[in-house]
A and B are shown apart, each in its own frame.
Chain A
Amino acid sequence: MVTAYSMARYESKAFPSRGISGVDIHKADRPVRAEMGGLAVLVAMAVASGVFLGLDFSNDGSPVLFAAVASTVAFTGLVGVADDVLEISQKVKPFLIVVAAVPLMVYLSQRAFIFIPLLGDVHLGLLYPLVAVPLAITTSANFSNLLAGFNGLEAGCAAISIGTMSFLSDLYGHPTVAVLGAILTSAYLGFLMLNWYPAKIFPGDSGTLMSGAALAAMGLAAGLEFEAIVLSIPAAMDFALKMMHRNPFKQRHELGNTTVRPDGTLDPAPYPALVHAFMKVSPIRERELVMSVLATELLFAITATAIAVIFL
């Protein structure tokens, strides 16, 4: 948490002058803020993971699992950093994330079953490491990249979902995965201190892609795939709502962004999206909107926990 906060603090001061910045379009005065805050989370994860692996003397192969999950998360974070700097094409990005998933695909190459509550163990054979693992990582990473754009939203959702997955991993007997989850949750909370309204730094694609990849990678590593899906539902709903438009993913170019009224409340852009749902039903300010989305994520975290406890 301390490393992520310190790094984010440095970035918030150094990055705008170097052009690594974006405009906070949901403020009346449209201030320029540092981008690529996910780099702070990535550095904090690398430092804490190095310390953990250096101090871990267990001989049960669990450090290999830790390294496989951490590598997948870190490589996805690096894809995000490259995207923040070079703006990688939307068509190329999913393939780069599939490449980032290779360490976990290799580690899970012997696994062939997925446990689904009520259905039991479902045999997927080679489809599990070759299709399910990369598909889960790239889908989750891209979903979390879509539900974004408001101060504290991405880091808050990441802290809730990864924190829940960390708790459930420990409950299901995967303490190494739980440790990585705790490291990431603390890193996102440290970053959130500067990303909360009014934000001094944005997570960028590095922060959002990494949180989705972390959730999926932890779910796969701990055999909690269904719970990871439940935790991804707010982001999946946002994706499904955006797909309802006749021209998916081009709505922002065609119809514009959410705007700020003189009284500080938000006026939603005229197309379906999860954040727009909250803006449509009553006048709402940015901070209240983020609290509502975080409450939704929390509701799904409670649901995922209840399912995991029932089927323990």
Chain B
Amino acid sequence: MIRQAAVVFLALLPLAISIPAAYLSWLAFPSVEALHMVVTGLVWVFTFAVGTQLFWKGVELLAQKR
């Protein structure tokens, strides 16, 4: 039960990583608005993918400790 709950909360990781990263990229690269949005979107997608990889690493660590 605790392990299942840990996975549920671990699932917040991609969102927790990607939102600050996208916000920082928005602040860092002020430019034409549509292009700005595309850059921010790409940063968001990339960091979301990284967060999802970290989620899976976390799951594998939990599984090893069974």
Name the distance in Å between A233's Cβ and chain B's nearest Cβ. 6
Is there a chain B Cβ closer than 8 Å to A292's Cβ? yes
| Contact A237:B11 (CB < 8 A) given known A244-B52, A281-B59 | yes
Task: Report chain B residues within 8 Å CB of A295.
Answer: 4-5, 8
Task: Report chain A residues within 8 Å CB of B59.
Answer: 277, 280-281
A292, B7: Cα distance in complex, Å: 9
A244, B52: Cα distance in complex, Å: 9
Query: Does the CB pair B4–A281 fall under 8 Å?
Result: yes
Is there a chain A Cβ closer than 8 Å to B21's Cβ? no
A243, B60: Cα distance in complex, Å: 17
| Contact A281:B8 (CB < 8 A) given known A119-B26, A122-B37, A233-B15 | no
Is there a chain B Cβ closer than 8 Å to A53's Cβ? no
Name the distance in Å between B63's Cβ and chain A's nearest Cβ. 4
Interface residues of A in 278-301 (CB under 8 A from B): 278, 280-282, 284, 288, 292, 295-296, 299-300
Name the distance in Å between B45's Cβ and chain A's nearest Cβ. 9
A230, B12: Cα distance in complex, Å: 10
Task: Report chain A residues within 8 Å CB of B49.
Answer: 240, 243
Is there a chain A Cβ closer than 8 Å to B62's Cβ? yes
Is there a chain B Cβ closer than 8 Å to A51's Cβ? no
Is there a chain A Cβ closer than 8 Å to B34's Cβ? yes
**What total of chain A residues lie within 8 Å of the partner, measured CB to CB?**
31
Query: Does the CB pair A277–B33 fall under 8 Å?
Result: no
Find the B residue at minimum CB distance from A127: B34
CB-CB contacts of A102-132 with B at 8 A, as 1s and 0s? 0000000000000000110011110100000
A247, B62: Cα distance in complex, Å: 25
A296, B8: Cα distance in complex, Å: 5
Find the A residue at minimum CB distance from B40: A119
Which size class do B's interface residues fall under?
A: 20 to 34
Query: Does the CB pair B55–A292 fall under 8 Å?
Result: no
Name the distance in Å between A297's Cβ and chain B's nearest Cβ. 10
Query: Does the CB pair B53–A244 fall under 8 Å?
Result: yes
Is there a chain B Cβ closer than 8 Å to A155's Cβ? no
A292, B6: Cα distance in complex, Å: 10
Interface residues of B in 1-24 (CB under 8 A from A): 3-9, 11-12, 14-15, 23
Query: Does the CB pair A241–B52 fall under 8 Å?
Result: yes
CB-CB contacts of B23-35 with A at 8 A, as 1s and 0s? 1001000000110
Query: Does the CB pair B8–A292 fall under 8 Å?
Result: yes
| Contact A233:B37 (CB < 8 A) given known A240-B52, A281-B3, A295-B8 | no
Name the distance in Å between A279's Cβ and chain B's nearest Cβ. 9
Task: Report chain A residues within 8 Å CB of B23.
Answer: 118-119
Name the distance in Å between A285's Cβ and chain B's nearest Cβ. 12
Is there a chain B Cβ closer than 8 Å to A175's Cβ? no
Find the B residue at minimum CB distance from A274: B11
Query: Does the CB pair A282–B4 fall under 8 Å?
Result: yes
Other-chain contact of B56, A125, A233, A236, A272 (Cβ < 8 Å):
A272
Is there a chain B Cβ closer than 8 Å to A234's Cβ? yes
| Contact A281:B14 (CB < 8 A) given known A125-B34, A236-B48, A237-B55 | no
Residues of B in contact with A (beta carbons under 8 Å apart): 3-9, 11-12, 14-15, 23, 26, 33-34, 36-37, 40, 48-49, 52-53, 55-56, 59-60, 62-63, 66
Task: Please name 12 pairs of A and B residues whose Cβ atoms are closer than 8 Å in the assembled complex, sorted by A.
Answer: A118-B26, A122-B36, A124-B33, A240-B14, A241-B52, A243-B49, A244-B52, A277-B7, A280-B63, A281-B59, A281-B63, A295-B4
Give the 3 A-B residue pairs with the shortest CB-CB distance, closest first: A240-B52, A281-B3, A280-B63
